[in-house]
Structure 1
Amino acid sequence: VKTVLDRLVEKKIVNRIKQGKKYCYRSKISRKLAGEESIKKLLKQYYNDDFDEFL
């Protein structure tokens, strides 16, 4: 799990805040924006950015 979180921090998707000996992780983007970006990536990768083809 730590490796995945470290990679998300590197990609600037997640913030890491040290609290004592532990780290707290928080998303840098909203759930809505993450969903929008996922749909855009899906359309581009599988449907050549064509929304009508997706439907």
Structure 2
Amino acid sequence: MGVYSEDLRTRVVAAVKAGRGSYRELGELSELDKNTIGVWVKLERETGGVSPQKCGRKA
């Protein structure tokens, strides 16, 4: 699985915040898993943005 674009993440999180549907409904429309949307909403709430986070450990 690749990294989703920041534009897609922003649009989906904005739709959730605007009340345009549940995680499941929006996931079906955008072909995403509801858990992925939940992670993005949590990330936006905690960091103020939806940019992909770096993976792995620090050297």
Tell me the TM-score normalised to structure 1 length. 0.33
Q: Which has the higher strand share?
A: 1
User: Which fold has the larger relative contact order, with Cα–Cα distance below 8 Å and residues 6 or more apart in sequence?
Assistant: 2
**Max radius of gyration: which structure?**
1
Tell me the TM-score normalised to structure 2 length. 0.31
